[in-house]
Amino acid sequence: MNGAEAALVGGFVGAVIMSALAMILDARRARRSADERRRERAHDLEVLTLEHDQRLQQAAMQDRARLRDARLSRLNDDAKALARALFDLERLALLMQWERPGDSAELERLEISARAHFESARAGLALDPDGARLATTFQSITREIAQYQSMIRSHRVLVEARAVEQVVEHADRLEAQRRRVHDGIMAAVGETQSMLKSAAVPVDAPRRPEPDSQTASDGPATAHVAPMMELSPGAQ
């Protein structure tokens, strides 16, 4: 083989080697490109999945907030009526203590008013887990007031009979019953306020998930809270 032939063969071999290297590099670039496309598709699918889950969570949160606000609105109305009934009972018990001739009409009015206010709230309270307990408390207070009224009548009989020792002893029991009625009413008012505060607890918004380090996270949204009614002993 002369020099020209050797050069020709060497050039051919070099061309084959370069072509093979180019094919290997192209194959590697194709694999890298395919891998990159797969990663992008996987990332896009992950983002879509997380966004879908986020929308579902947001919808569930909004549903819970609507239910919370609807319940709070109902409880506000029922609590107002119940508070008026309790304050009627408080005035009824006070008037019983210092009853004078001619007070019977006012006693009857207060009793009817308390019952009417309670009945207007009774159905709504009975259907609510916390409200049902308050309805039972109100019934218990009315029984305590009936007992107080009976003790007042018995005390007057003892006074008229001038049974001094029995009057003194009975007066202590009468005062204890009066305090029981008053404390029961104040406790029911406080329990009503606690019920409203518990019902007004905000609904937490779900955090926006992060599919990877390049996806920003939004801060939790603040749920709207319906205004809560505040009760005061002077409310009417």
Q: Which domains does the chain have, with CATH numbers?
A: 71-199 (1.20.120)
Q: What percent of the chain has pLDDT over 90?
A: 27
The whole-model pTM stands at 0.60
pLDDT band at 233 (very low <50, low <70, confident <90, very high): very low
Helices 129-161, 104-126: axis angle to 10 degrees equals 160
Mean pLDDT of the chain: 80
- pLDDT tens-digit readout, 106-140: 999 999 999 999 999 998 888 888 888 888 999 99
Residue 208 has a pLDDT of 52
Cβ neighbours of residue 210 closer than 8 Å, sequence gap 6 or more: 216, 217
